[in-house]
Amino acid sequence: MLERLNEALDHIESHLDQRIEVTELARIAVTSEYHFRRLFSALAGVSLSDYIRRRRLTIAGAEVLAGERTLLEIAVRYGYGSGEAFARAFRGVHGVGPGEARRTGAALRSQPRMSFRLIVEGGSSMRYRVVEKEQLRVVGKKVRVPLVHEGVNPAIADFIRGIDHDTMRRITALSDQEPEGIVGVSDNIDPSRAEGTELDYYHGVVTRSAVPEDLDVLTVPAGTWAVFENSGAFPQALQYLWRDVFTQWFPSNPYQSRPGPEILRTRLSQDAAHADAELWIPMERTAV
């Protein structure tokens, strides 16, 4: 899998002055476009679109300093419809406009070319199982929140604190299938998964029961799920679990993620410093 990802990176590098289609990158990597975006951002720590933009503007920066082409020629070559649009993007990456950079020979920022390799650390294995589920419903309370990569998500924490005890008691009583008990469900996640982008968060249960009118419902189609378990410090262990699933497990197994919500069942210690977690990721087998 990593070899195919690196072939896709080679394609990006040889087409920086052309239109790059994500569908073609996914074809090279022999995976879906959805999974390619997810896997790339997890491995690279930056979204695919941001990486391509930074690489283009890195190469464009060298051409600006070389002075062999006009700024408009460089702008058009790297896909910008006007000198103004190019200047805004250039300043966003390099902190200085292209005209000033050329006049003064300013120091520019560089996005290095990436390549992926798998580093095996330690001897522990990931605990997982594969589950086939019929259509399920998540019932509870919903909010739109920003994505936070590290630490407690304050928007989610405030939202949960704002749910009154009677409502939580009624929601909890509806749980009647796996994963059991209160779960946190993330849906409609931005494909880039960039810090600060928004997602729908549900605090509720998985149930077949009738739904009270004052609660929110998310209906999830039938499909295959990979279920991962871990224990550790809260919330770091949970966030590391998400990272390890996409940077270690998927590249090493014949599966790919598919569109759908991600379900997290968490059991906290009394002091909330430790958590036992169960993470459900919608997935499917990759094409042979």
The Cα 28–Cα 17 span in angstroms is 19
The reported pLDDT for the residue numbered 107 is: 81
219, β-bridge pairs: 137
The Cα 175–Cα 265 span in angstroms is 12
**Tens digit of pLDDT for each residue in 199-249?**
999 999 999 988 899 999 999 999 999 999 888 888 777 777 887 888 778
Paired tokens of 131:
């589950």
**Tens digit of pLDDT for each residue in 58-74?**
999 999 998 999 999 99
Categorize the per-residue pLDDT at 287 as very low, low, confident or very high, splitting at 50, 70 and 90.
Answer: low
Domains identified in the chain and CATH numbers: 2-104 (1.10.10.60), 127-285 (3.20.80.10)
Choice between 36 and 195, residue whose per-residue pLDDT is larger: 36
**Total-model pTM:** 0.72
Count of C-beta atoms within a 10 Å radius of residue 4: 18
Q: Which of 32, 55, 40, 35 is nearest to 5 (CA)?
A: 40
**Tens digit of pLDDT for each residue in 105-129?**
888 888 888 877 655 444 444 678 8
**Tens digit of pLDDT for each residue in 122-179?**
444 467 888 999 999 999 999 999 988 777 789 999 999 999 999 999 999 999 999 9
Q: Which of 20, 12, 17, 9 is nearest to 63 (CA)?
A: 17
Q: Are 257 and 250 within 8 A, CB to CB?
A: yes
